[in-house]
Structure formats: structure tokens, C-alpha cells
Chain A
Amino acid sequence: MSDALFEIRDLRLSFPDLAHKPLFGSAPRIEVLKGLSFDIARGDVVGIVGGSGSGKSTLGRAMIRLLDVESGEIRFDGTEISQLGETDLRPLRRRMQMIFQDPMSSLNPRHTVARLIAGPLHLHGFDQIRARVDQALSQVGLPLSFRSRYPHELSGGQRQRVGIARAIATEPEFILADEVVSGLDVSSQAQVLNLLERLVSDMGLTLGFISHDLSVVRRLCKTTLVLHRGEIVEQAETAALFGAPTAQYTRDLLDAIPLPEVTPGWLG
């Protein structure tokens, strides 16, 4: 058996273009993922980068089967999951979790923090749920007094920690983090990134980190996968990719990172 957690072969996905649907017949389809193939090794931290509309979120959601795949293979730990139904997927759900971009809409506003974290635990038949919720809270650095709070009673950074606690509570092997720091201010960003870094090494997680922020990816990820218009442009070790990008698109992306340049005289 290989040490790849995810093996993805020729993954294709398209959405119907309802704006151009003719009166009769079916709508033309917009290809979002155009035959992607790549592996994610166990314990890797993969940055998935690309411009908006490049298909990075769609790819992420297809990998953990939040979206139905048109064709191609997704092997998770050796199991082909691309065509599994919801019932067959359920036992696998424990092992792959997701952290969402906007914790305000991804945490049910009517559930308390304790219930939010306990939800996945109940569904997968865990015991000692109270203790596990407390453990997850302390792992993400939230006080236990937050158990009875509602999401709107938390700050943005605290909410995102609850989202992380919910994802790690079931002890998954893979976590997909979709733009998890884009909505946070800079200091919360740094805290959440430190937390993710620590969790990855403590729990031996494999992390898929979707972001459009290359400096964040450079800091956190071991390998990076560059996506452009539904195709993989480049996949390499982060250091190598940032040091010597081979694809023109990657070079353009890297050039677009704003660097602090202090012109002489600016400080008076």
C-alpha cells in the first residue's frame, strides 16, 4: 500500500449553465474541474492556491464528497469514494472533516458551542462525549465556560476556533480548510495558523489548505498545488515552488504578492 491518503485520477466536474439554457433541451455545462490527477501523502500539508474561479473550493468539496463527481477516481486511504452514496459515505465522514471559510454561517446559530462540537461525535457513536468536547475546546485554546455560548456571542477568531474544534473532535485523518483565515483580522489569522500548525503536528493530520493568500500558504504548507481555470498548473514542494516556479502562471501569481518596500524618504 502506498503512503498516499488521497489518490485522485482524472477528476472531472461541471455545472449546468442555467443562464444559457435553451427553451427546450438541457443547459450547456460549464467545466469547472478539467481532469485533475494528483496525490496527497499522509501527513502532508497541501496548499491549494489559485485565483477566484479557478475551482479550488470546488475541488476541495468534491474531494470530501460534498459535491457529486462527474467522472474520475477519488481514492481515500485505498477506498474508491467518487461514486459512493450518502449512506455508504457516512462511516468515512468521521475520517475527513472540513473547516469553513465563514464560521458565522457554518455554525448553526441555534446551537450552543457544546452542541456544535458534540454533533459529529453523537453521529459517529463516540462515548464520553462531554469529556471529548472539553478536550477539543482546550486543544483549540477556548475556555470551558464557552460551552453554553451561542456563535453570535463569540468574536470572529473564537468562532473559527469552534469550527476547528468541531472538525478535530472526531479525530479525523484529513481536514480540508477552505479559506479559513480570509475572514479574520491579522492577529487572529496568526493565532489560527499557529493553532493549525500545532494540531497538524500533534494529531498527525493531513491538511488540505485552500487559500488565495500565497504568503499564508508559504508559511504553513509543505507542498503547494497551483490551480488555474480547473487545471493543475504546478505541484511541488512549497520551498521549491516559491524559489523557482516553473509555470508562467505561478510566476505571475508570485509577482502579485505585495512586498513591503519602504522608499527612502517615506519616513520623513
Chain B
Amino acid sequence: MADGRAAVKRRINPRLWLSGGWLMILVIAALAAPLLAPQDPLAQDLFASRLPPLWQAGAEPGFPLGTDSLGRDVLSRVLYGARVALIVALIAGSCTCVLGAGLGLVAGYYRGWPDMVISRLIEIWMAFPPVLFAILLIAVMGTGLTSIIVAIVVIDWTRFARVIRAEAMSQGAMDYVASAKVAGRGRFGIILREILPNVLPTIVVLLTLEMGIAVIVEAILGFVNLSISSDDPTWGSMIAEGRAAIHHSWWVLVFPLITLFLTVLSFSQLGEGLKDHFDPVLR
């Protein structure tokens, strides 16, 4: 019974490699920031303020991407900023995913009153403007890494719950779920062993998107000075400082902005790439 169905192989996805490559570089940069950074990210030197990046006239060696108005090295601050961004992306992203997807699966599979409660909760949540809600939460809890993560989880779990609920509903109506029931699997087993593997590609895409969003939210909070303490380098606070000096030192704004942009883009592209990779039909 030889047929071609099993023989089809897919070639490697370039966007998976590009986005994965960038994030890999970022992870290494964040982990090895003390080794890689040419300067102390917090060290101020008013005599070396507003130095341009290396390839422009007036640059000084040791400050490859220039310095800001307090003479702090931009490259070093971008590297240390990656630490905050990645920690928030990983922890806030995963917590949001577990909470949101869990509630979504329960609502979508059990239906009935659990669905009623969770759906009403989602609707109420979505009526709040998210960024204002985050700022309000941080104002109440105080700034700091934990507050940022909690704020992101509390705000964004609905993004997972909505999508996964709908997905679980459509999967729950498939005959393979009835087949598992006939085989004698309990409800919880059906959710974990039958439905979860089938919604996993969606979860992965949402998770990587959520990591990108977490990076953006952290940057927004940094921009309005509600991230971790204002001295510590975060991309958001660098962008805020750079905005004020955009006319005479563009590099303070542009380099963290490019890094932020590439990181968020890579997260979303990684999700798309992984989705194809996880799908046995497309694999």
C-alpha cells in the first residue's frame, strides 16, 4: 500500500530562521550583557554627553552607538534593556497563556454555566481601555517588574480566552471527541489529551504574539515612566528620553526603537513559523 501521502516533506521556513535568529541573538545579548556592554549602563559622564555613533564625525571609541544627554552609553543601555524586555515577554507571556487558555478551554468544552461566567467576565474586561487599565494597576501596586507582569497578565488573558474558547467549541463538536467518550475517556482527559493538542498551534501563535505585546506594553509603561525604577535602562524609557532630544541626537531614540521593532516583529513571525511546524498536516 505505497502511496505518496506519507512521503511529502516540507522545506524549512526562512521566516522561522530569521525571527528565531534575531531572538536568539537578543537572548544571548541579554544573558551576556555584563560581558558585551562596553560601558556601565548607569554611568553618567557629562563630558561625554551626546556623542554620535561610531561612523559619524566626533564619535569616541568605546561608545559604538553614541551616548545620551547624560553621557550614558546607548549600546550598553540597549543590551541591559533587553533583559527587562525578555523577562517580561517570557514570564508575562506564559502566565497570560496558561490562565487565558485554561479558562478558554473550560468555557469552550464544558459550555453551560462555566461558559456563562467566563464569557461575561471577558465582556466586562474588554470594556476597559487596556493601557489605562495597566497604568491604573501599576499606580495601585507600585512600579517594579512584578507589577508590570501582573498588569499584563490581568489585562491580556482575555485575548487567549476568547480565541481558545471558540476553538475548543468547534473542536468539541468533532467526532473524535465523541470517539474518545466512547473509548471511555473522562471530561478532563478529553480536554488535555484530545482537544489541547489540536488547539496547540493556535496557542503557540497567540503566545508568541502575546510576548511581542508584552514587550510593547513594557515599553509603553517605560515611556510613561511606570516601568521599573527610572534609572534602570528599559527600551521604553530610552525612547522617552530620546524623544526629547530627537533634533540634536537622533541615535538615542532610533537604536532602542529599531531593537524594539525587530523584537516584536520577530515574535509574531516566530509564531506563524512555529504554527506550520507543529501542524502534522502541513509538516
A residues with a Cβ closer than 8 A to B are 61, 64, 66, 86-87, 90, 93-94, 96-98, 100-102, 105-111, 119-120, 123-124, 142-143, 146, 149-150, 152-155, 158, 163, 166, 170
Contact = CB atoms under 8 A, between A and B. Distances in A.
B182 A86 contact: no
Given A93-B182, A119-B180, A153-B5, A102 B175 contact: yes
A150 B282 CA distance: 12
A107 B184 contact: no
A123 B175 contact: no
14 contacts: A97-B182, A97-B183, A98-B179, A100-B175, A105-B175, A107-B176, A110-B200, A119-B180, A120-B183, A150-B280, A152-B280, A152-B281, A153-B5, A166-B183
A142 B174 CA distance: 25
A161 to B, nearest CB: 11
Contacts of A100: 175, 178-179
B187 interface: yes
Nearest to B179: A106
Nearest to A178: B175
A155 B3 contact: yes
Interface in B243-283: 280-281
B177 to A, nearest CB: 9
8 closest residue pairs by CB, A with B: A106-B175, A93-B184, A120-B183, A110-B197, A153-B5, A108-B176, A153-B6, A123-B184
Contacts of B116: none
Given A107-B179, A110-B197, A124 B281 contact: no
Interface in B1-20: 1, 3, 5-6
A40 to B, nearest CB: 17
Nearest to B278: A110
B194 interface: yes
Interface in B180-221: 180-187, 189, 194, 197-198, 200
A173 to B, nearest CB: 14
B183 A93 contact: yes
Interface of B: 1, 3, 5-6, 174-176, 178-187, 189, 194, 197-198, 200, 280-281
A94 B185 CA distance: 11
A163 B179 CA distance: 9
B5 A154 contact: yes
A97 B187 CA distance: 18
Given A110-B280, A149-B6, A150-B280, A105 B176 contact: yes
Contacts of B180: 108, 119
B3 A120 contact: no
Nearest to A110: B197
B198 A109 contact: yes
B178 A106 contact: yes
A109 B183 contact: no
Given A66-B178, A105-B174, A124 B1 contact: no
Contacts of A153: 5-6
A166 B184 contact: no
A123 B3 CA distance: 32
Contacts of B182: 64, 66, 93, 96-98
Given A90-B184, A109-B198, A152-B280, A166 B3 contact: no
A201 B67 CA distance: 86
B282 to A, nearest CB: 10
Contacts of A124: 184
Nearest to B175: A106
B198 A94 contact: no
Contacts of B200: 110
Contacts of B178: 61, 66, 98, 100, 106
A125 to B, nearest CB: 10
A147 to B, nearest CB: 12
